[in-house]
Amino acid sequence: MAARVLQHCVRTLRLSSGPLALRAAVVPAAPLHRALSFYSADRRTRCVNRFPSLDVLCRQYGHLPPLTLESIEERVLYVLKLYDKINPEKLQATSHFMKDLGLDSLDQVEIIMAMEDEFGFEIPDGEAEKLMTPDEIVQYIADKKDIYE
Amino acid sequence: MTASTRRTVLSLYMRVFRIARNWQAQIGVVGDIETEKKYILHEASTLFRQNQQLTDPETIKRCVEECEARIEMGLHYRNPYPRAMHLPPLGLATQKGRKLRAQQRLRKQAKPVYLQSHDDS
């Protein structure tokens, strides 16, 4: 708790000293007004001395790491390996679910559902029934998430 | 099985999965939600696979209706288990063997649509 207050103080003090007024960082500091006034007196000089090289003012957002084609393919193959009806040795990126792996359409629906859970977005029915190999799934997800090589 | 029935069946299957994903049980212990989710998934996969090989369009239509009925009832009552069925009057077998077939016919007639795939003998 004290560490977080400190962090906020450092950020707001550095930002308020900079030429740009970044309101985004000031807003979360509003509930910490009391703490700010308490800490600012003794922290100000200390902050300036400890972080002289931190001249880059940047906003911090919380978001997932960017997806790449390799990471998508890795995750898709990982999920497929965890599926109990698939033999992990026979699984490759181009193996067809029905012809090579011997699954039926109900299994394919289950696999698509697992992919939806993994990547967190919904795949509509009409397109889901066309995805028959891991490669196609990777292509589809890359299309949906606008990821290029 | 024509392409349209196939698509209906697969979209029903997907619908059941999506329902299971967002399932909120009625007021009870938190562990109930997980048990009910697992039950829904298990039930769906067993029943769908059990009826996978049917080719008669009438039976297929009845199974589709059964699935939809169970989905609606499950969502309405917040209870995924099939609703119990009352025995029709004079529906249980007596000592005499002759009445057995009549009993069976009565029971079969009284069986609601959402219990079609369940086999109680």
Reported ipTM? 0.74
Rounded to an integer, the average pLDDT of A87-113 is: 87
For chain A, percent of residues with pLDDT exceeding 90: 3
Domain count, chain A: 1
The Cα B45–Cα B67 span in angstroms is: 12
Q: Which domain holds residue A102?
A: 85-145
Structural domain contains residue A115: yes
Is A120 an 8 Å CB contact of chain B?
A: no
Is the sign of the CA dihedral A123, A127, A131, A134 positive or negative? Answer: negative
Which residues of A are annotated as catalytic?
A: 104
Q: Which domain holds residue B107?
A: 3-115
> What's A118's domain CATH number?
1.10.1200.10
Backbone φ, ψ for residue B95 (5° rounding): -65, -40
Which chain B residues have a beta carbon less than 8 Å from that of A110? 17, 45
Structural domain contains residue A25: no
**Confidence tier at A20 by pLDDT (50, 70, 90):** very low
Domain count, chain B: 1
Structural domain contains residue B120: no
The Cα B18–Cα B14 span in angstroms is: 6
Structural domain contains residue A126: yes
Structural domain contains residue A30: no
Structural domain contains residue A55: no
Rounded to an integer, the average pLDDT of A40-46 is: 47
Give me the long-range contacts of A119-122 (CB less than 8 A, separation at least 24). A119/A72, A119/A75
Quote the longest CA-to-CA distance of chain A.
72
Structural domain contains residue A137: yes
What's chain A's average pLDDT? Answer: 73
**Confidence tier at A4 by pLDDT (50, 70, 90):** low
Cβ distance A106 to B14 less than 8 Å, yes or no, reads no
What's chain B's average pLDDT? Answer: 80
Is A131 an 8 Å CB contact of chain B?
A: no
Whether A132 and A96 have beta carbons less than 8 Å apart is answered as yes
Structural domain contains residue B121: no
Q: What pLDDT shows up at residue A88?
A: 84
The reported pTM is: 0.65
